[in-house]
Amino acid sequence: MNLFQQNLEILRRHNRALAAQVLKISGGTLSIQLAKTGVPTAVVKNRAIHSAYDPIREAERWAEHQTKDCQSGETLVVLGVGLLYHVEALRTKLPQDSVVVVIVSDLSELVDALSVRSLDGWGDRVCWVWGHSEQMARQVTQQASRLRLLTYEPALMIHQQEYDAFRLQLRDQLAKGVSGRLHIMVVGPIYGGSLPIAGYVVRALESLGHRVSWVDHSLHAPGYQHLQTIQDDRLRTTVQQRFSDTLGVISLAHVAEDPPDFVLAMSQAPLSMAVLEQMRRKKVLTAMWFVENFRHFAYWQQMIEGYDFWFVMQQAACLEAFKNSGASQVSYLPLAADLSIHQSVDLSIQEQQELGADVSFLGAGYRNRREMLPVLLGHEWIFKLWGNEWDRAGVLETVLQRNGARIDTATSVKIFNATSVNINLHSYTGIGFDPEGDSVNPRTFELASCGAFQVIDHRTLLAELFDESMMGIVKTPEEFVPAVRTYLHEPEQRQVMAERSRKRVGMSHTYAHRMQTLLSTVGLASPDRIGAILQGERQAESLLARSRDCPELLPLLRSFPKTDRVELVDVARTIRQKGPEATLSREELLVLMMDEYRQEKRDFL
């Protein structure tokens, strides 16, 4: 019996289906070579998958590093197969009862490994998962909820796309099983475009049942804006910076007062690196949802290492730029709509008269809009232009509404509803369409959510969010006028398309969806903290089940409703309610002691 057959026997004993499948597949993904130490190593497209000198030692170091943060009770999911040196090292290092799952995205790669490396002594203690990404994710989540992903990058890169797909599937599968409630602190900006989004995020998180503390810095906007009266540029900038720094310290004080599980900052939130570093020292996880174009606003580079998680609305180049700049975790998270705000509304006759039009555009006066929108003038339709920053608008002044005043959210929803064809032209500081235009602006989701019809400029990321049956998509500036003309005369088609886009938002593109994704991503990367809470491990029911070794806590935990999240502070409060004559158990005294220290905030600022 050769090595492959011996390995097959080991596989067959625990996983007949996999053994059968492996028999049908031939290898060839990995090019096998001999390392300096005489053991096999592998290369793919001239890239080494394992050390060319000592793959065993390299794998041991990998396992050592990966297991540093692992907690008992976690299922370790390994991404990346290669020649399995790392899996063997991991298996050897871990206790017998720990569970190691290896995700096999390509059986041919596994066949290569089985041909040159023995599973003897460890392979039978590995759970092998293969198939389509969705199928694999389901298998993994059915086995355990507390997962820790370990990536062996050299091998993972061979099938990067498949593993990315698996990760997304896993995240979504885990999101479905979320029952735990987090305390999330949302830190908003002082003013600007991300301010309303902060509000939508707060509402979405609350609708998902989480406790949200909103640090709303817009309260300080009048004071901040008053600083504009300082004439000297350098002086003004310095004072504004100090003002912003103080707001950061205020945020920190809120964290100290009522420590959250997680701080979610929106773009332009006034959190300095010093504040973020202090949060990290205090073990507060932080994330930033950067809802700006990373090419236009580069301040993220100075903050990149301050946040534990970054969420961005652009893909590929953006993700790469953030990773290259030092982001530890960066994920794509497009914008969305808030169904309770962006919805169909009935307008009065007066409102219809003022806000209604055949064709409208609502937005700020960026250069490309100033250059393109005049083509919509002088046609058979009524065109209205809404929004601010339209000073010196030239010919567009004739259609500019309310003298270019800023339009609030409620009014914008009415304008969307009252317009037959809404023009949605993404901002760009150049001429024409942004050649690098990828992200989709919030207006896209908001118009769709209102059931309003829109003609939109093409964006590379639009196709995965909406399709051409839901909105008019133009690929060049020249297509705008014909598209508007066509759709203006097809009211029924417009209605059908708008309705489809509305449904798509409801199904996939609300802020609640985004927050589910965001929290699942954080949970997956932090299985022992956020992940554990999301999976309900801090709920009374779960704590009761795990407190068998601590029977003195059982009566206390039973006093809480089963699905309530129970933290140290809650248990301590219950103990204190026992009254002055109570005799306390050792465990109760320990809880009170820890609570005493928990309350101390003297070194937080």
Partner 1 sequence: MSRTLLLQLARLGDLLQSLPVITSLQTHFPEQQLDLLCAAPLTPICKLFPGIQRIYPWEGERWHGFARMEEGGNERLVEEAGQYVSDFAFPPYTLAYNLNNHPRSILASHLLSARVVGAGDRGPLNPRLPPWVEFLQHVARERGANRIHLADAFCGLCGVSPPRVIPIIQAHDIELPPDLEQIVNDSSFVKIGIVLGAGDADRRVPLTTLCRLIEGCTDLLPNCLCVLIGGAGEREAALALEDKLSSQYLSRILNCVGRTTLPQLAHLFNRCQWVIGSDTGPLHLAVACGARVIGWYFSRARVHETGPYGVGHYVWQYRGSAHSESTDCSREKGGPHLPCSWPVLETLQIIHNQHTGENPSGWELWNSHHDEWGMFYTNGENSEIAVKLREEVWKRLSVKGPNHQEFSTMNAMTAG
Query: What residue ranges bind partner 1 (CB under 8 A)?
Result: 71, 261, 282-283, 528-529, 532, 537-538, 542-543, 546-547, 549-550, 553, 557, 566-568, 571, 575-576, 578-584, 586-587, 589-598, 600
Rounded least distance, CB 557 to partner 1, Å:
8
Alpha-carbon gap, residue 124 to 254, rounded angstroms? 50
Task: Between 168 and 571, name the residue whose CB sits nearer to partner 1.
Answer: 571
Rounded least distance, CB 255 to partner 1, Å:
13
Rounded least distance, CB 56 to partner 1, Å:
31
Rounded least distance, CB 137 to partner 1, Å:
24
Task: Between 505 and 566, name the residue whose CB sits nearer to partner 1.
Answer: 566
Q: Are 431 and 477 in contact (CB under 8 A)?
A: no
Q: Are 566 and 592 in contact (CB under 8 A)?
A: no
| Cβ neighbours for 576, distance < 8 A, ≥ 6 positions apart | 592
Task: Between 176 and 586, name the residue whose CB sits nearer to partner 1.
Answer: 586
Rounded least distance, CB 172 to partner 1, Å:
25
Task: Between 473 and 591, name the residue whose CB sits nearer to partner 1.
Answer: 591
**Hey, what amino acid is at 534?**
L
Q: Are 164 and 172 in contact (CB under 8 A)?
A: no
Task: Between 435 and 579, name the residue whose CB sits nearer to partner 1.
Answer: 579
Rounded least distance, CB 553 to partner 1, Å:
6
Specify the long-range contacts of residues 345-353, CB closer than 8 Å, at least 24 apart: 345/413, 345/414, 345/417, 345/450, 347/414, 347/417, 347/418, 351/414, 351/418, 352/418
Rounded least distance, CB 185 to partner 1, Å:
15
Cα R_g (the chain), whole angstroms: 28
Rounded least distance, CB 262 to partner 1, Å:
10
CA max distance for the chain: 88
Task: Between 411 and 547, name the residue whose CB sits nearer to partner 1.
Answer: 547
Scored b (16 or more CB within 10 A) or e, 6-26 reads: ebbebbeeebeebbebbeeee
- Which two three-digit tokens encode residue 448? 């769709």
Task: Between 98 and 508, name the residue whose CB sits nearer to partner 1.
Answer: 98
Q: Where are the alpha helices (DSSP H) in 177-272?
A: 194-207, 221-226, 233-257
Rounded least distance, CB 67 to partner 1, Å:
15
Q: Are 291 and 197 in contact (CB under 8 A)?
A: yes
Rounded least distance, CB 545 to partner 1, Å:
10
Rounded least distance, CB 544 to partner 1, Å:
9
Q: Are 421 and 486 in contact (CB under 8 A)?
A: no
Task: Between 108 and 585, name the residue whose CB sits nearer to partner 1.
Answer: 585
C-alpha separations of 45 from 34, 49, 158, 186, 431 in Å: 16, 10, 9, 46, 42
Task: Between 84 and 149, name the residue whose CB sits nearer to partner 1.
Answer: 149
Q: Are 309 and 317 in contact (CB under 8 A)?
A: no
Task: Between 245 and 567, name the residue whose CB sits nearer to partner 1.
Answer: 567
Q: Where are the beta strands (DSSP E) in 105-236?
A: 126-130, 147-151, 183-187, 211-215
C-alpha separations of 415 from 294, 328, 422, 451 in Å: 29, 41, 9, 12
Task: Between 45 and 602, name the residue whose CB sits nearer to partner 1.
Answer: 602
Q: Are 180 and 261 in contact (CB under 8 A)?
A: no
Q: Are 255 and 284 in contact (CB under 8 A)?
A: yes
Rounded least distance, CB 253 to partner 1, Å:
17
Task: Between 482 and 555, name the residue whose CB sits nearer to partner 1.
Answer: 555
Residue for token digits 């705000």?
341
Q: Are 505 and 439 in contact (CB under 8 A)?
A: no
- Which two three-digit tokens encode residue 130? 């293969």
- Which two three-digit tokens encode residue 124? 């039978």
Task: Between 35 and 275, name the residue whose CB sits nearer to partner 1.
Answer: 275
Rounded least distance, CB 562 to partner 1, Å:
14
